[in-house]
Amino acid sequence: MDFSLGERAESFRTEVRAFLGEHLTPTVIQQMHTTGTFNNKDFNSALAEAGLLAGAVPGYGNRDPIELYVLFNELEKAGAPYEGLAVTMLVAGVVHAVGTEFHHNEVLKPLLTGRYTCCLGYSEPDHGSDVAAITTRAIRDGKDWVIDGQKMWTTMAHEADWVILLTRTNPDVPKHKGLTMFLVPMDLPGIEIQPVATMATERTNATFYDGVRLGDQWRLGEVDGGWNVMGVALAFERGVMGGTNPAVPLLRHIRDWAANTPSPEGGPLLDDPLLRERMGRTAIANQVSQLLTLRAAWIAATGGLPGLEGSMAKLYATERYQQAVGWFQQMAGAEGLLSFGASHAAANGWIDYDGRHSPVMTIYGGTTEINRNNVAERHLGLPRAR
């Protein structure tokens, strides 16, 4: 089977790699880990200026859709701050797919400059996996809507210009049928943001909406049609826009560490047979993750929504990532628990970082259990879990 992406996609990949060689400096990487904000507006706008961002919007323009996959695949493998950008471009794709001319002018155009950021306001304190059960209310008041409620885990809210907000507009119908999506400017009165630190260093937020008044022009999709808008957004969230190759940078850090660390038996740790076996297994898992991601990307590129395939890629990649970092942490011993900046930290703190980051990746963007249900029901045809 021929897995090559074709000349156009490969030349795009070369362009992205050249960009990363120039712009992904140690300072950019360090800044993301010291602030916990996995977004860098200067880096994003440099991407836009280099002409690399328009292809990052799902379904936008006449760009080769495979560019979307190539861009995020390269950013993730290089360890760049791509998470904020991925969410922003995902929202751009949703706006492109279901937005009005107003949304295109007010939101999509600015997003394409890389200077603006969006965040996702779906999850609530009591509703994450079962997101259709959310309770944040939007009530019509003349020409406006008034929003009251609380969202949890609104990552990037503190930097974002807009939140794509899932609200309940009708509590008297089955839960999926009473939802409406809005694009909400984050500077409206009544919005409060509180930081939430995670074990993965990544900052997220609790967001509060207290009588937030908003014109109807900010509604995205039909009234009570929010679930359809969610469908478009979720299909791209898993698989195609990063999140499925996290062990690629990890393996690079392990290689560099093991080459420069003595083994108790003499010689570098890189010669240790157990370490080599584990590195080999991780490299194989990375390759499988890459192929699963490619399948999701191919479906997106040929006009489909890769909801199921993205679930499979995310599920496999994040579980293998967790397994791999557990192996390396075990081999590094206590020094594998030391963080960035500590003098004896194994792999300069990367093993510790990945050890804390890998559990979180099996939660956000749909938990492992939810993805397993998705695969069991939609791919294997097993009965519904509930």
Ligand X SMILES: Cc1cc2nc3c(=O)[nH]c(=O)nc-3n(C[C@H](O)[C@H](O)[C@H](O)COP(=O)(O)OP(=O)(O)OC[C@H]3O[C@@H](n4cnc5c(N)ncnc54)[C@H](O)[C@@H]3O)c2cc1C
Q: Does 153 bind ligand X (CB under 6 A)?
A: yes
Q: Does 154 bind ligand X (CB under 6 A)?
A: yes
State in angstroms the smallest separation of the CB of 356 from ligand X.
11
Q: Does 360 bind ligand X (CB under 6 A)?
A: yes
The answer to whether 261 and 268 are in contact (CB under 8 A) is: yes
Two tokens at 302?
């040929």
Q: Which of 159, 202, 237, 335 binds ligand X (CB under 6 A)?
A: 202
Q: Which of 43, 167, 364, 374 binds ligand X (CB under 6 A)?
A: 364
What are the helix (H) ranges across 36-132? Answer: 41-49, 66-78, 83-98, 101-103, 109-111
Two tokens at 70?
């190539």
State in angstroms the smallest separation of the CB of 301 from ligand X.
26
Q: Cα–Cα distance between 74 and 72 in angstroms, integer?
A: 5
Q: Does 370 bind ligand X (CB under 6 A)?
A: yes
Q: Cα–Cα distance between 257 and 332 in angstroms, integer?
A: 10
The answer to whether 65 and 54 are in contact (CB under 8 A) is: no
Position 205: which residue type? N
Q: Cα–Cα distance between 203 and 188 in angstroms, integer?
A: 22
80: left (phi over 0), alpha (psi -120 to 50) or beta: beta
Position 334: which residue type? A
Question: Which residue's CB is nearer to ligand X, number 57 or number 134?
Answer: 134
Q: Which of 31, 45, 323, 367 binds ligand X (CB under 6 A)?
A: 367
From the list 167-175, 219-227, 287-295, 357-365, the region that binds ligand X by CB under 6 A is 357-365
Q: Does 162 bind ligand X (CB under 6 A)?
A: no
State in angstroms the smallest separation of the CB of 279 from ligand X.
28
Report 94-123 residues binding ligand X (CB under 6 A). 119-123
Q: Cα–Cα distance between 70 and 242 in angstroms, integer?
A: 10
Q: Does 376 bind ligand X (CB under 6 A)?
A: no
Termini Cα distance of the chain: 39
Report 211-250 residues binding ligand X (CB under 6 A). none
Q: Does 371 bind ligand X (CB under 6 A)?
A: no
Torsion over CA: 279, 280, 283, 288 (sign)? negative
Q: Which of 93, 114, 128, 355 binds ligand X (CB under 6 A)?
A: 128
State in angstroms the smallest separation of the CB of 365 from ligand X.
6
The answer to whether 177 and 201 are in contact (CB under 8 A) is: no
Q: Does 338 bind ligand X (CB under 6 A)?
A: no
Question: Which residue's CB is nearer to ligand X, number 114 or number 128?
Answer: 128
What are the helix (H) ranges across 138-272? Answer: 226-237, 247-259
Question: Which residue's CB is nearer to ligand X, number 123 or number 293?
Answer: 123
Residues that bind ligand X (CB under 6 A): 119-123, 128-129, 153-155, 198, 202, 204, 360, 363-364, 366-367, 369-370, 373, 385-386
